[in-house]
Structure 1
């Protein structure tokens, strides 16, 4: 189970809205100035706050610090879906496009189009999967 602390920002009976602050190692990394991940995270301009809605029978108060958890299996499945499927799509469509099209520009457009469709499919599937209880964080304990 992956655990993270969060702060309750809203509570209605049975449903709590919590906010987690991302823990980034970029601030203390010596390779920050040449790292692509650090550069991309700076471009988004977001402070790294994530808001989740938890179903809980435990009464909570706004401002309380709690510990939430998420199963590793659901996180690994999500990462596999997000990274592996588009990569597999690129590889397969590159192979198919090489056999179907003689012109490289048409082949590149074909690869781009199929990869874009795979990202749309991943997004659609992810919206359906996030409704399942295995992909929702759960309240583990109240910290403060």
Structure 2
């Protein structure tokens, strides 16, 4: 479970809006010299605060400090969809055009078309995944408590 600490900003039925302070781990990473994220962190680009809607079945008050979390496998699967699907579309379309002995400009056009089709598939999949509560952030526990409210993939009160 990937966890982040935050403060409750707003409460709604079955969920809360949480403000998190983004912290950079660039000081601990071995690849910081060649990383774009480290460069952006050094120049101060991007918002330092994030606002996240997290599911909960417990009542919280505005200002409560909480830990929110999302399963690691959801992040990994999401990254695979976002990065691999467009690339697979690009290569599949280019290889198909090449197998059909198309001219080089047509192979390039097919590759671009496959890339765009891959992005469209990612968009469609993302819209379908928005309804899956297993992929949504959840409030795990109060920042003052040591035991999480999430056990065996279910929220407990």
TM-score, structure 1 as length reference:
0.79
In structure 1, how many angstroms separate the alpha carbons of the residues matched to 2:24 and 2:121? 29
Please tell me whether the aligned partners of residues 94 and 114 of structure 2 are also in contact (alpha carbons under 8 angstroms).
Answer: no
Offset of 1:48 from its aligned partner?
A: 4.9
Task: Give the number of the structure whose residues are more often helix, by fraction.
Answer: 1
Superposition misfits of 4+ residues, deviation over 3 angstroms: 25-42
Q: Distance in 2 between the 1:121 and 1:50 partners?
A: 27
Structure 2, unpaired ranges of 5+: 145-157
- CA displacement, residues 63-93 of structure 1 (integer Å, 9 cap, x when unaligned): 2221011112212211111112122222222
Larger relative contact order (C-alpha < 8 A, sep ≥ 6)?
A: 1
Please provide the CA RMSD for this pair.
2.7
3-state SS in 1 of match to 2:125: helix
Return 5+ residue gaps in structure 1 as ranges.
none
Q: Give the aligned length.
A: 143
Q: 1:64 — aligned with what?
A: 64
Map of 1:97 onto structure 2? 97
